[in-house]
Amino acid sequence: MTTGLYTHHSSLDHDTSPGHPERIERIATVYATLDGAGFAALRRREAPPASVDELGRVHRGDYVTHTLERIPAAGFSRLDPDTVVSPGSGIAALHAAGAMIAAVDDVVAGNADNAFCAVRPPGHHAEAGRGMGFCLFNNVAVGAMHARHVHGLQRIAIVDFDVHHGNGTQAMFENDPDTLFASTHQYPHYPGTGAAGETGVGNVFNAPLAASSGGAEFRAAMEERILPALRGFAPAIVFVSAGFDAHARDPLASLNFEEADYEWATRKLMEVADEFSGGRLVSTLEGGYDLEALGNSVQAHVGALMSP
């Protein structure tokens, strides 16, 4: 397998203020992991910035320009109580979304079989007109709509195994029968959405997990709810919002996944992509706040993507 890796140095410049969990050391840990043994075969590419028009496929009106205008020239400012930005944040956010654009282009062209975008800020909480939960622009949604509008891939699946529900992604697509959104997440928990009864137009599949759930409950949710939904939907491309904060070590939540669970889930999603999508799968980093768990989980996830 050829796996594309999309990064940009601006991810290291998005300073969220001392003590913030979504911190620069996260992406430094991911980069160190993917520079390590076993990852020499990654096809490494620098992520371009997304354009305002590309972001405008999922974000509302003046949200993009308004958000960029709120980036301070010095110090910090807050888009919401959790979402802190500083002078490097706007450029980082543009490249985090642009990584998805480049990854989709390369996977559709066959330059890579699948791809991982190692970027920050994360994206899945960002709604059409509102940034929240450490997220400015909804990276996975930008990639999904690029696949449809530029490459003509109509049926798009987005699977989100971050411990937090991807409220932004769900809100963007819950009325779009050609986009499937499936999520496992701790529930009830931040951001409050993600009940099993939220089904969109029959295209949303939430699998809420009670606090203290572990790999057994995660795998059951995948096997019984999410993988059958994906097979019934037959996507032309599979996207993954890959947050690793459901790991047992993570400080922001109370699920107990292990690295092996992420490797297993990645392989299962690759099987779906092989069956229906020509293998096309594009994953992007969302959360994951314990550095050791994050590094090991990315190792498991990307290692699986690279394996036949």
Point out the residues that are catalytic.
125
Taking the least distance from each CB to Zn ion, the nearer of 146 and 164 is 164
Q: How far is the CB of 100 from Zn ion (least distance, A)?
A: 18
Nearest to 272 by CA among 222, 307, 210: 222
Nearest to 196 by CA among 172, 216, 221, 215: 221
Q: How far is the CB of 241 from Zn ion (least distance, A)?
A: 9
**287 scored as a contact of Zn ion (CB under 5 A):** yes
**290 scored as a contact of Zn ion (CB under 5 A):** no
Q: How far is the CB of 255 from Zn ion (least distance, A)?
A: 11
**261 scored as a contact of Zn ion (CB under 5 A):** no
Binding residues for Zn ion restricted to 114-153, rule: CB under 5 A: none
Binding-site member from 22, 54, 113, 162 for Zn ion (CB under 5 A): 162
Q: Which two tokens stand for residue 190?
A: 């931040």
User: Nearest 10 degrees: CA dihedral of 256, 238, 208, 301?
Assistant: 0
Q: How far is the CB of 22 from Zn ion (least distance, A)?
A: 9
Taking the least distance from each CB to Zn ion, the nearer of 125 and 146 is 125
**263 scored as a contact of Zn ion (CB under 5 A):** no
Is residue 122 a contact partner of residue 134, using CB atoms and an 8 Å limit? yes
Q: How far is the CB of 31 from Zn ion (least distance, A)?
A: 20
Of 76-84, 96-104, 178-186, 283-291, which part binds Zn ion (CB under 5 A)?
Answer: 283-291
Binding-site member from 14, 146, 148, 164 for Zn ion (CB under 5 A): 164
Binding-site member from 208, 243, 279, 303 for Zn ion (CB under 5 A): 243
**245 scored as a contact of Zn ion (CB under 5 A):** yes
Size of the site for Zn ion (CB under 5 A): 5
Residues that bind Zn ion (CB under 5 A): 162, 164, 243, 245, 287
